[in-house]
A = this chain, B = another copy of it.
Amino acid sequence: MKDKIKVQVIGATGYGGIGIIDLLSSHPNFQIISLLAKDKFGKTINNFYPHLNNISELMVEEVTQNAIGKDANVIIFTTPDTVAMQMIEPIYERLMKNNIKIIDFSGDFRFKNINDYEEYAQKHPKLNKFQHSAKNLLDKSVYGLPELFKDEIKDARIVGNPGCFAVSMILGIAPLNKLNLIDKTQINIDSTTGTSGAGKSLNEIQHFSNMESNFIPYRALSHQHVTEVKKVASSLGNTIENIHFVPHLINTTRGIMSSIHIELIEKTTKNKLLKIFQDYYRTDYFIRIIDNPPSLKNVRGSNYCDISIDVDEKGKHAVIFSAIDNLMKGQSSNAVQCLNIMYGLNEKTGLERAPLYP
C-alpha cells in the first residue's frame, strides 16, 4: 500500500464522493487516505452508506483549513459550486509547494476565462451574480475531458471535471464541429437524465411516489451546462452560436441520453458521419461508436460513452445520440480517468468494469 498515490476526498458523503470511494477502493495505484465533509462527519463512511460495508470504513472528518491536503498527493473536491474555489484560494501556495494536484467536480474550474465563468454563473440557479473568488487560478485549470484534452490534463495542477450533461453533449458534437460540418446557427438538444444528477438532497420532485413512472422536462432553454458546451465545442472548430437545450428528468437513477439535432452544411450519409466519429475517437477506448441508437442500460455503471447517428432522407439533418452514466463518465469515473492520465497510468486502469446489464 505504501507506494500508492494518496487521495483526499472532500465532500465525501454525496453521490460524487461515494462514486470516487467505490472506484478507488479497488484501484491498484491510488488509495484514499482521508474523507472530509462539512456536515456529516464523526462516523465511518459505511455508516452513511451501508453498501460500502467491508469496502471502505474510513472515518469522515470535519473539513478544516489544516485538514485540507494533509498527507495527500491529490485532492478531489466532490463539492457543489463555489466550495472548491473558496477552500483552495487561501492555501493554494501550500498546496503547490507540496505538489498537490486538484480535481474539482463543480463548475468552479471549468473555464479558463472569467467572462465565460460569469456567463455560466448567471445561468446557474444558485450562483446568480456570484463573483469567482479565485480568478487568478482559472488559467491554471484544465477542462477534464480526456478524449479532447488528454495532453493538457497530463500536466494539469487543477482539473475541472466536466458537467454531466456537458460530457454527453460535447462528445457528440466535437467530431463534426472539428470538421466544421455543423450549420452553426442551430443545435437543438433534448437530454434525459436519471434522478441521481440532482444528488441526494430531498425534494418533492424526487420523492419516489412522484417520480415513479414519470418523465418531466425542467429548466427548458436555460440550463447552465449549455455555456460549457458552447465554449468547449466552439474551441474546436466553428463557433456554435445557439444551443437550445432541454433537460428531462426520467424515472431511473442513472444515465444521460442526449439527442442532438443538427443541420448539416452539406448533404451526407449516415455511413460517412459514422466514419468521421470512428476516426475522431480511434484511440479513445471509452467511446464506442455504434450503428443503432444507444441505451442507458448499456452504459450503466461504466465509463463508456456510446454514440450513434442518424440522418434524414434529405441528408441535411442529423441526430446524434450520446449516452453515458451520469455518475460515471458524467462524474466519478471520468475523474478517475483524469487521475490516471495525470499520474502517467494507462487511462483504463481501475475502470475496466462492464456496464451492469441487465
Contact = CB atoms under 8 A, between A and B. Distances in A.
Interface of A: 15, 18, 21-22, 25-26, 49-55, 186, 188, 190, 192, 194-196, 200, 202-204, 206-218, 220-222, 242, 244, 246, 248, 250-255, 257, 259, 261, 263, 285, 288, 290, 292-302, 304, 306, 310-314, 317, 319, 321, 327, 352-358
B242 A353 contact: no
The count of identical subunits is: 4
**What 7 pairs between A and B have smallest CB-CB spacing?**
A190-B190, A220-B310, A217-B293, A209-B358, A51-B298, A22-B354, A202-B202
A306 B214 CA distance: 14
A216 to B, nearest CB: 4
Nearest to A216: B295
A210 B55 CA distance: 19
A221 B248 CA distance: 20
A195 B217 contact: no
Contacts of A202: 202-204, 207
A251 B212 contact: yes
A247 to B, nearest CB: 10
Contacts of A244: 261, 312, 317, 319
Contacts of A314: 242
A288 B53 contact: yes
A5 to B, nearest CB: 18
Contacts of A302: 51
26 contacts: A21-B354, A22-B353, A26-B352, A26-B354, A49-B357, A50-B298, A51-B298, A53-B290, A195-B209, A200-B207, A200-B358, A202-B204, A202-B207, A206-B208, A208-B251, A212-B252, A213-B213, A215-B257, A215-B295, A215-B296, A217-B257, A217-B293, A220-B259, A220-B319, A242-B312, A246-B259
